[in-house]
Structure 1
Amino acid sequence: VVDAPVSGGQAGAENGKLSIMCGGSADAMAKAEPYMQAYAARIVHVGDAGAGQTTKMCNQIAIAGVIQGVSESIRFAQNAGLDLDKVFEAISGGAAQSWQMVNRWPTMAKEDFDFGFAVDWMRKDLGLALDEARRNGAVLPVAALVDQFYADVQAMGGARQDTSALVRRLPK
């Protein structure tokens, strides 16, 4: 048995560029890996069965915080009267650069959210992570807060929108 959640979004799946985090025995991995190579750019064996799912939770925790940070950066720049394209150009190549910034800032700035990983799915994933954190003793204050923010986006009608719709809950 191999648990093998993925990261990389729809574009990653379409282009065979997903990152796969795998949990399972070495023998199970050896059997499964040739099949995964068809759709993955990166395959990482992270531990025993279940470790893949737990690693996916780590991924979602990190993404939630990054999207909130990008959302706040966009609204801050808008309120300061800055040109969003210029701000993106300036900061996307420096320490703030991330997949979320490079791939979502432009669509967030245009308020285009009808694609990608749905808010409903992120809430499910964050719920799993928060449940696991209660079991393993991890403290996740930012993930818990961003999960509440995603509930706000759901209440605003954004349940099926991309997770980058988080910016919608911040006033302009």
Structure 2
Amino acid sequence: MFDALALDRPMLEAGQLWRLWTGHLVHVDPAHAGLNLTALVMLAVVAVRSQAMGRLLLASLVLMPVISIGVLLLLPDLQWYAGLSGLLHGWLAWLLVQRRGIVAVVGLALLGLKLWWEMSSGAVGGTGVSVTTEAHRLGAAGGLVLAWAAHGWRAARGRGRLTSRSVRAPR
């Protein structure tokens, strides 16, 4: 299963585009999967409680290939990638922006510190798996951009600047 779904550069270049999404769903070992699934459950609880799960899942469809392509561009020697942590960083950033207020400010500051620490000191993790920290930064940046875009969209709709006519595709 791993070989068929992991983000594998040669297979992607051969046309297996689904790997841009599925590479985030497979893990190299049970410890790696366990860490990611624990974080996923915690973030999913927050998303459900804030009634944001549907929007977050939709954002994930955009975040997954953005993270995948970004990792491949930033790391030209990387041959494969697997794991959910990049997407989870995107979820966390997205949820914090949606939250707003002091919790969001402190949470985003802590997320930024974590990403800075990873960048300056290398990978974290106790699973023995090499951590692709670039995926964390790409996920967080993508989550921020999508959350701010969604917030701007809702604000513009609320002010009447966007109507169903203004967003319709031309005929």
TM-score by length of 2: 0.27
More helix as a share of residues:
2
Flag the structure with more relative contact order, 1 or 2, with Cα contacts below 8 A and sequence separation at least 6.
2
Relative to the length of structure 1, the TM-score reads 0.27
